[in-house]
Structure 1
């Protein structure tokens, strides 16, 4: 019982640090931040921070995983009362674009802004976005029952879907504009590309 309580306290502390460190990453960018500054921002000692995260990279990856988990929870929550598969896909696009818009300082960072960041992340460890890909594949599988799609591999379509959305994000990063306003057209373009004619 005592070990369970200690683990719960550690998990809670870890989550609080991720929230605070995340805000600081978003403010200052990944490269500009040191572990000492992060510890100060979180109100803990540097040693306590290193007990939770072995390095700044480990903390950053944990932060990315935390943000993806929060995004997934928001998608599921917002989709709970929606019955249309296309509307659920639209929710994914809107929330994903919203997330990128609110994290723009990090996106411009040389490490986090690497267009292959998530690809590299998923090859070096378990892909934290897999839970979102699984959910998207489930939706695309349902959609294929309503409308024939060019590929019967729902997971392949899910990966293509998220890569397609990242194309919109990259365009926004380079040319500006209102990314949020592109969510409907992004979904329409993707679906036109994968629907069997």
Structure 2
């Protein structure tokens, strides 16, 4: 890699790191690109040259967060054999991630940008497909072996994601205790996937 490309990557990473702090502190709507530029010591034009728009900068922030939480999930379930315990760990990490980024989530409940631009389900290399594959293989497939279900591990993953995301949206709207919803989520999910 040329020195110029390395410098560009470092600059991009620095901007994204500071943007993450501002998105978390201010939320999407209130985060100002001019403040970001000033904090990092670059021009507003440099930010738009690297990211194209505030929306793309936000999407890059989301993608970084997804990568981070996937790494956390991998680390935390590595030595766990019980599939129910793995599911609890997944739920705790997901809920904790949303709690720690609540300012950014106010955008999510009412705004079409909420993760939608990060998904490209037709692309096997899409970051969300990577997350879904990991959860399917490492959490849902072992769980399938302990329960009776006709659902595939990917279908289980997508159902889990739908239910947990609905609970997060409800939490943002009513501002109750999301971490207390952990058992309720697991119970609802298991009822949905089990054959009767």
Shorter-normalised TM range = 0.7 to 0.9
When the two structures are aligned, how many residues end up with a matched partner?
192
Q: When the two structures are superposed, what TM-score results if normalisation uses the length of structure 1?
A: 0.85
Q: Distance in 1 between matches of 2:111 and 2:135?
A: 21
Question: Displacement, 1:46?
Answer: 2.1
Q: List alignment gaps of at least 5 residues for structure 2.
A: none
Deviation track 1:20-55 (CA, whole Å, cap 9, x = no partner) reads 101101221212233222212333222332332121
Q: Distance in 2 between matches of 1:124 and 1:33?
A: 29
Question: What does residue 114 of structure 1 align with?
Answer: 110
Structure 1 pair 17/174, CA: closer, same or farther in 2 (3 Å)? Answer: same
| Equivalent in 96, 99, 102 of residue 100 of structure 2 | 102
Structure 1 pair 71/187, CA: closer, same or farther in 2 (3 Å)? Answer: same
Structure 1 pair 115/94, CA: closer, same or farther in 2 (3 Å)? Answer: farther
Structure 1 pair 13/180, CA: closer, same or farther in 2 (3 Å)? Answer: farther
Question: Displacement, 1:78?
Answer: 1.1
Question: Displacement, 1:160?
Answer: 1.1
Q: When the two structures are superposed, what TM-score results if normalisation uses the length of structure 2?
A: 0.86
* Root-mean-square deviation over aligned CA pairs: 2.3
Tell me, yes or no, if the aligned pair for 1:21 and 1:42 is still in contact at 8 Å. no
Q: List alignment gaps of at least 5 residues for structure 1.
A: none
Q: Distance in 2 between matches of 1:53 and 1:98?
A: 28
Question: What does residue 166 of structure 1 align with?
Answer: 165
Is residue 148 of structure 1 aligned with residue 148 of structure 2?
yes
